[in-house]
Amino acid sequence: MKLTFDQNLFTQIGLDSGSLTMLGGVTHRFLEPGQYRGVVYRNGENLADFYVNVDKNSPVAQANIDLAAFEPTQAAAATSTTGSTCNCQRESAKAGTKFEVNPKGYAVFHVSAGAGGYAVRVSKAAEDPKQQNPFDSRELKGDDIFSAVILRPGTYSATNTLGGKEKGKIIVGYPKIGKTAYRPPSPVKVACSERGFEPGKLELQPGQAILFHAAVPTRITLELTKADDGPADRAAHVRSGWKKAALPDKKKKKA
């Protein structure tokens, strides 16, 4: 058997809305119709540009923009470093790719594979900077939403690096094998205001999403402060090597 999944899912601990990875995404609404130009950054470096046509007549309510698809070696990256053959088949987005969305719809910036570290800046194609109405994932505001998923059990500290007085606390529980296959509960909403996070403390299950609504300029970082490696007596899943599973000695039926 061959297990195939993206290693980054389990090795990247902590999230940053300004440096998106597979476990985090940003949702933004372009309220004004017009042509927009976007730039994808990876670790601060300009990676590619793209265009978004915000059109009242567009039937598209949601434009999914996979930032990992702008990688020049996207196709290779999708399989070479991760070996992924998951159901996240992506189409390679060439520089200059055009997207379309209705002004009442949403643009979703996410990362489908790889190490991430992406940010995106989108602004209207206008000469007047006041009319450019820029959006930058490194500074969320308005109706922007940062969606985060934490897999690694433990206690996290949530911080709005652009403001907010209080830090939030998130506790992600340790997974348990129940009577049925585990599926994460519904997402939890958190408001980001000047006061900090509401609610300020969350108890989540692994894989349960948090939706940070940015009411004020926001850049969320989630940092592991205390890892939870499970109960001390948890069964160790270690390679057992080859071992023949045998029936216990059966007692003779007859004397």
Within residues 44-73, the interface with other proteins by CB under 8 A covers: 62, 64
Q: Which of 18, 19, 22, 93 binds other proteins (CB under 8 A)?
A: 22
Among residues 12 and 160, whose Cβ is nearest to other proteins? 12
Which residues between 98 and 127 bind other proteins (CB under 8 A)?
A: 106, 108, 110, 112-113
Q: How far is the CB of 34 from other proteins (least distance, A)?
A: 23
Among residues 165 and 226, whose Cβ is nearest to other proteins? 226
| Helix boundaries (H) for 57-163 | 74-80, 129-132
Which residues between 79 and 98 bind other proteins (CB under 8 A)?
A: 84-88
CA-to-CA distance for 142 and 237, rounded, in angstroms?
Answer: 45
> Residues binding other proteins: what is the number (CB under 8 A)?
72
Contacting range for other proteins; rule: CB under 8 A; set: 8-16, 44-52, 133-141, 195-203: 8-16
Q: Which of 23, 40, 47, 93 binds other proteins (CB under 8 A)?
A: 23
Given a contact cutoff of 8 angstroms between Cβ atoms, the answer to whether 148 and 19 are in contact is no
Question: Which whole-number Å values give the CA distances from 35 to 46, 91, 168, 173, 217, in the listed order?
Answer: 20, 23, 38, 44, 24
Residue type, position 191, single letter: A
**DSSP run (H or E) holding 172:** strand 168-172
The reply on whether position 223 binds other proteins by CB under 8 A is: no
Structure tokens at 95: 């520089």
Question: Which whole-number Å values give the CA distances from 99 to 25, 106, 182, in the listed order?
Answer: 17, 12, 36
Among residues 59 and 238, whose Cβ is nearest to other proteins? 238
Which residues between 137 and 196 bind other proteins (CB under 8 A)?
A: 145, 147, 149, 151-153, 174-184, 186-187
Among residues 119 and 149, whose Cβ is nearest to other proteins? 149
Among residues 168 and 206, whose Cβ is nearest to other proteins? 206
Contacts with 253 (C-beta within 8 Å, 6 or more apart), sequence order? none
Among residues 105 and 200, whose Cβ is nearest to other proteins? 105
The reply on whether position 232 binds other proteins by CB under 8 A is: no
Q: Which of 171, 211, 215, 216 binds other proteins (CB under 8 A)?
A: 211
CA-to-CA distance for 49 and 35, rounded, in angstroms?
Answer: 13
Question: Which whole-number Å values give the CA distances from 222 to 19, 74, 188, 212, in the listed order?
Answer: 12, 27, 15, 11
